[in-house]
Amino acid sequence: MRAHATFFSVSVGALTAFATAQRSGEVDVDAILARLTLEQKLGQITLIPIGEPQNIPDKDRNSIVGNWQEAARTGRVGAMYGANTAAYTNEIQRAAFEESEHGIPLIIGNDIIHGYRTIFPIPLASSGSFDLELMQSLTRAAAVESRAAGTHWTFAPMVDIARDPRWGRASEGAGEDPWFGAKVAAARVKGFQGEGLDRPDAVAATAKHFAAYGAAVGGRDYDTTDMSEQTLREIHLRPFKAAVEAGTATLMTSFNDINGVPASGNSFLLQNILREEWNFDGFVTSDYTSINEMIPHGFARDLQHAGILALEAGCDVDLTGRVYQSQLTEAVEKGLISEATIDKSVRRVLEMKKRLGLFENPYGDEDTEAKVTLSDEHRALARKAAAESVVLLKNTDDLLPLDGTRGTIAVIGPLADSKRDSLGTWAGMGRAEDAVTALEGLQNAVDGARIVYAEGCKPDGDDRSGFQAAIALARSADVVLLFVGETEIMTGEANSRADLTLPGVQRELFEAIAETGTPVVAMLSTGRPIVVPEVEEKADAVMSVWHLGVEHGNGIADVVFGDVNPGAKLTMSWPRAIGQIPVYYARKNTGRPYRPNTRFVNRYRDMTMEPLYPFGYGLSYTTFELSGLDVASPEIGTRGVATVKATVTNTGDRAGSEVVQLYIHDRVATLVQPLRKLRGFEKVTLEAGESKEVTFELGTEELAIWNGEMDWVVEPGTFGVYVSTSSKGGLEGEFEVVERGTNGKMWGEN
């Protein structure tokens, strides 16, 4: 935190009659704008971090808090972030809303990534539920808690497509698939924004990071991205477009450059695509000092240049960089930027404050806050979400679920009993003490005497002194649940990893426990896919249990003992080796497709190209079979709709759910298309022996491709269609798209 002891020096008195009038009638944004000085305008497009009072060192407290309040009172700041609780945000808000000349409320933002105080599974994990309603209910609950605490704006959802698990921020998104990512983006935005931004339980969403941030080369956070317009539009922009269509109030630019132009100064993205093509009418914020960072990028000469480039490109708000505030007055005076350009962004911010109802009431509500924060209802939701996010990856001889009434269960491993790691990365106002660890959850579920525990080793480092005790414990038990993986701090922002194997000596611990001969369930607690072929080979069962939030342990216990039958799927492929990355499923074919025992084809000479676990994969305690693929419309027009049906049957002996997935392959196109693209899914819950017919409709939205000539088109030709339970295998069919029917109309049209 930086102190700016003399930055804000003017003190202003109470509200003017004009400001008071705004509260009783229709807020007139233009009239407000007309009254602001240039400095106050720049204040509206400036966001400063404030932090919690307890985190501010005593020596700085008066000066920093004093300055913030002064900034609010003088109208030289329009947005703050990092403040929490209604009591504190209200105190800050009062300075702007009641003690400033124009009485313009602050918009208070926060990173509510997977919950405010009730922390839900990390977003990558909950995306695996393939349950859009559930995902929407999680962001809804987060919004209810946030708004009561005086936060009006969340810097979420992150909708970046992540195809490289080295990138730590994969944990914050919905994985590798753009079509799925678009559905999730829309659901999460709708959850945050609820029934309307002006409702007292809504927060403005931020689709971030615009754009292609997840495509950083080498999986290194902040690194460069370079890609064709086809890849940009088909893959990386798709979820952003869906977020805009779902009404996201704001977008945040990304740190990276795209084809040489940093995102915060990228008018192609911010003007041409976002405003002109998509008609976005909210505002855009920079990322944390991303405007300033255009200097080291080598795009801006100095801060003033950076400020001009960013604002002119369409980056409305400066998040913490103070570039607009410190540079643009002089730039206007020198005629380097017009005040009209500044007005455009200020107007957008004021409009958003109006839409959020902040001119009527910008305050948090302490009574509601006390009721909703970490409420029983939200905890119950967190538990359901936790259980629905667990992915069963292997289950030899139906080792799972465990019978909680018999035998001894050895719980081993450095991720078994860590409260902070249970919450996961970027846990908002989440507190470690709120979290139920896996060990605690398992102990809650069965007679505690059945559970014995040893840490075995630390998550990192080379200390093997705990091995012997852990091995002895494993030998004495009937089954081992071995919790290995990543701590939360190994994941998230600025936590790219070049080695995705189990950190420290965890792999050695796993090998030693596997050698005891006691059946082992590997419980992989991670924020991303990791590289564990040895685990797949030697463990009897494997589960991906991620970082599941406050109800981490209870959710895990629900699955381990079979109260919940796992139904989640992977939304990112898990590589076998780091050298396979990127290993996403939607690859294009080459001119030399792979053939076994052949040299000059597309392959690795030392390893298969197949991932360890593919996108869409995940098992259940029951089994499912697909049958009866019916392409009901074998021929459609370019604007028609193809209908594809298949039957899914629960062939096991307990109820469960399966995610039936539909993929297409546009076999010949003007731009080469992936071998498979997800274009439909339905999560179906079936009793033992029950069947259901699932119907998918493929229309323009599903079939159109970016054709390289500024157009989305459905091209005539043959489409392969696959109905399956992961991105591999399944039932296969095809249909034809033709230009016109014989009657002169498009086939499939009325």
User: Least distance from C-beta 493 to ligand BGC, angstroms?
Assistant: 6
User: Least distance from C-beta 55 to ligand BGC, angstroms?
Assistant: 14
DSSP 197: T
Give 208 or 552: the residue with its C-beta nearer to ligand BGC.
208
Give 234 or 287: the residue with its C-beta nearer to ligand BGC.
287
Give 547 or 677: the residue with its C-beta nearer to ligand BGC.
547
The beta strands (E) that lie in 583-634 are given as 624-631
208 belongs to the binding site for ligand BGC (CB under 6 A): yes
Whether the Cβ atoms of residue 518 and residue 479 lie closer than 8 Å to each other: yes
3-state SS, 245-290, equals HCCCCEEEECCCEECCEEHHHCHHHHHHHHHHHCCCCCEEECCCCC
155 belongs to the binding site for ligand BGC (CB under 6 A): yes
Q: What distance separates the 2 farthest-apart alpha carbons in the chain?
A: 83
Q: What is the DSSP string of 151-179?
A: --EE---B------TTSGGGGGS--S-HH
Q: What is the DSSP string of 622-681?
A: S-EEEEEEEES-SEEETT--EEEEEEEEE-SSS-EEEEEEEEEEE-S-SS--BS-EEEEE
Report the DSSP beta bridge partners of residue 394: 542
User: Least distance from C-beta 264 to ligand BGC, angstroms?
Assistant: 12
114 belongs to the binding site for ligand BGC (CB under 6 A): no
Give 253 or 650: the residue with its C-beta nearer to ligand BGC.
253
287 is catalytic: yes
152 belongs to the binding site for ligand BGC (CB under 6 A): no
Whether the Cβ atoms of residue 100 and residue 149 lie closer than 8 Å to each other: no
**Residues 509-548 within binding reach of ligand BGC (CB under 6 A):** none
The beta strands (E) that lie in 689-730 are given as 691-698, 705-706, 712-713, 717-724
Whether the Cβ atoms of residue 228 and residue 235 lie closer than 8 Å to each other: no
Which listed residue (160, 177, 234, 493) binds ligand BGC by CB under 6 A? 493
- Secondary element (H or E) of residue 480: strand 479-485
Whether the Cβ atoms of residue 581 and residue 415 lie closer than 8 Å to each other: no
288 belongs to the binding site for ligand BGC (CB under 6 A): yes
User: Least distance from C-beta 296 to ligand BGC, angstroms?
Assistant: 15
User: Least distance from C-beta 1 to ligand BGC, angstroms?
Assistant: 13
Give 155 or 453: the residue with its C-beta nearer to ligand BGC.
155
User: Least distance from C-beta 208 to ligand BGC, angstroms?
Assistant: 6
Helix, strand, or coil (residue 107): strand
- Residue number of the CB atom closest to ligand BGC: 155
88 belongs to the binding site for ligand BGC (CB under 6 A): no
Give 289 or 589: the residue with its C-beta nearer to ligand BGC.
289
287 belongs to the binding site for ligand BGC (CB under 6 A): yes
Tokens of 646: 């298949």
Binding residue count for ligand BGC, defined by CB under 6 A: 6
Q: Catalytic residue, from 287, 417, 421, 540: name it.
A: 287
486 belongs to the binding site for ligand BGC (CB under 6 A): no
Q: State which amino acid sits at residue 341.
A: T
Pure H helices in 410-548: 419-423, 438-445, 467-476, 506-515, 533-538
Give 263 or 454: the residue with its C-beta nearer to ligand BGC.
263
Task: Give dist(CA 99, CA 118) in Å, integer.
Answer: 33
Task: Give dist(CA 319, CA 165) in Å, integer.
Answer: 27
User: Least distance from C-beta 256 to ligand BGC, angstroms?
Assistant: 11
Looking at the annotation, which residues are catalytic?
287
Footprint of ligand BGC (CB under 6 A): 111, 155, 208, 287-288, 493
